Amino acid sequence: MCELMGMSANVPTDVRFSFAALSKRGGATGPHRDGWGIAFYEGRGARAFHDPQPSAQSEIARLLRDYPLKSEIVIAHVRRANRGRVALENTHPFTRELWGRAWTFAHNGQLKGVKKRPLDAYRPIGSTDSEHAFCWLLGRLRKRFKTMPSQAALDRALGALCEDLSQLGVFNMLMSEGRTLFAFCNKKLFYIVRQAPFGVATLVDEDLRVDFAAETTPTDRVAVVASNPLTRDEVWSELPLGKLSAFRAGRLA
Amino acid sequence: MCELMGMSANVPTDVRFSFAALSKRGGATGPHRDGWGIAFYEGRGARAFHDPQPSAQSEIARLLRDYPLKSEIVIAHVRRANRGRVALENTHPFTRELWGRAWTFAHNGQLKGVKKRPLDAYRPIGSTDSEHAFCWLLGRLRKRFKTMPSQAALDRALGALCEDLSQLGVFNMLMSEGRTLFAFCNKKLFYIVRQAPFGVATLVDEDLRVDFAAETTPTDRVAVVASNPLTRDEVWSELPLGKLSAFRAGRLA
């Protein structure tokens, strides 16, 4: 299995605090040592960092724990391989272009028989179930809509495709096109929305505290999604099971 | 204008020495301060680093100058914007998937009217001429071949498409699918092939020397392509103008 972390905010936001927790679970406080990756959206662009090294020891992960890269949407993943060997091409998040948008996808779980689903426009580069599922999802969206549809139509269509896929097994996933952080969960995903009045939080995985009041302005709003709560002194909620959740500008739509 | 750097080798090779030179040209020894990017292939996977910051000052560039990431094919670019604002989505190299392969593309030059060329399967995410040209190239290859063709057929088809595009202006570019480093040049690109007996080289842009004999084994072979020679005590050759060059395993095919 793997762990996921996602962020949606209404202002460019630094995720070093959350990433510090997640990346520890990649080989230190958790067993997810088979690579990791993170994608940061900035406007229409997305930049991703991938490493087949355990995130707890990765030099690139260390840079990202130190360097304040601000973003409105982030998707991160630490991997414990089940299908697909440990290799760069098998590290999440995966990225493809659709309708002139950079789409990013990360998955936790296994989808029995997903590789039997026929693909057309998108082909996997690596050998994971997850990338096959992503290619299938995007291919279906592409077939259905020639150009970017309305937000409501996209939410509905993607939701139906995810419900279909989730019949095949454990399907906890994060996905984005740069505007919405989509989260689907049929087993376990937690979230928290931080907004004024901001408080203090302490990570579960290491003795690191942050006072969000000192780091934010009163109108900031930040949602964080994670496979397991990242902090020990805040209340995290479970995402509803078996349906697509959409976070926009730090708010659960 | 911009500067390009590419590498093809028969063993995973560290490009820190060449990248040190190129990244200095992004705002220190050269005026290319509008962002930079680099893609490293490892097997079928490719990982890219992008930054709209000048490479000479970028924290991410500094990490890559220090951290020995080994790769068989590398494509790097420092940007001086002419078309398309300074933004993450406009930094090269661009990446798309075709035939289950990660394709990467970086360009130096301007292509007058290229945006009038119709696109189908691939759409630009940013607003550069270069990304439009890349989408056009891949779209045409995709239309022509349902799956990855033979190497000879691919070289021929891509060569013809590049010759066509190069009629529109300055078209110096590097491109790869992970097996071949393609280089097209109608104005200026230099290359060097390093192999045994390896010597010592000194960068043009800073007082940095390397003794390749100490870093290599006798069977290693490494080709480096650059907009301007990166070292001052080696003989760099110009790539032939107006035709596609293909480097495989450190050799000009």
pLDDT digits 0-9 by tens, A43-90: 899 999 999 999 889 999 999 988 889 999 999 999 888 778 889 999
- pLDDT, mean over chain B: 94
Tokens of A151: 């937000």
Alpha helices, DSSP H, located in B53-211:
59-66, 129-144, 151-165
Contact A97 B96 (CB under 8 A): yes
Read off the pTM.
Answer: 0.95
Whole-number Å distance between alpha carbons of B192 and B251: 10
Distance from CA of A101 to the nearest CA of B (A): 5
pLDDT attached to residue B162? 98
Whole-number Å distance between alpha carbons of B253 and B246: 6
C-alpha count within 13 angstroms, C-beta hemisphere, residue A8: 24
- Find out whether B89 and A45 touch, Cβ atoms under 8 Å: yes
Peptide bond preceding B240 in cis form (omega within 30 of 0): no
Chain A positions touching B122 (Cβ under 8 A) are 97
Chain B positions touching A101 (Cβ under 8 A) are 125
Q: What is the largest CA-CA distance in chain B?
A: 51
Whole-number Å distance between alpha carbons of B180 and B94: 16
Distance from CA of B133 to the nearest CA of A (A): 14
Whole-number Å distance between alpha carbons of B130 and B89: 12
* Residues present in chain B in total: 253
pLDDT of B215 above 90: no
User: Mean per-residue pLDDT for B90-107?
Assistant: 97
Nearest to B65 by CA among B10, B24, B11: B24
* Residue B50 pLDDT grade (very low, low, confident, very high; cuts 50, 70, 90): very high
Q: Which of A169-173, B54-58, B177-181 has the lowest mean pLDDT?
A: B54-58
Alpha helices, DSSP H, located in B145-222:
151-165, 212-215
pLDDT attached to residue B251? 96
* Residues present in chain A in total: 253
> What domains, with CATH codes, occur in chain A?
3-252 (3.60.20.10)
Contact A47 B43 (CB under 8 A): no
User: Mean per-residue pLDDT for B25-49?
Assistant: 91
A162 is an active site residue: no
Q: Which of A19-23, A41-45, A204-208 has the lowest mean pLDDT?
A: A204-208
Mutate to test the interface with A, among B36, B41, B60 (most CBs of A within 10 A): B60
The Cβ of residue A178 has, within 10 Å, a number of other Cβ atoms equal to 20
* Residue A205 pLDDT grade (very low, low, confident, very high; cuts 50, 70, 90): confident
Strands A243-248 and A181-185: antiparallel
* Residue A206 pLDDT grade (very low, low, confident, very high; cuts 50, 70, 90): confident
What separation in angstroms does the CA of B182 have from each of B75, B106, B107, B203, B250? 10, 11, 12, 24, 12
Residue B179: Cβ-neighbour burial (10 angstroms; 0-12, 13-18, 19+): middle
Better-scored residue on pLDDT, B67 or B145:
B145
Chain B positions touching A43 (Cβ under 8 A) are 87-89
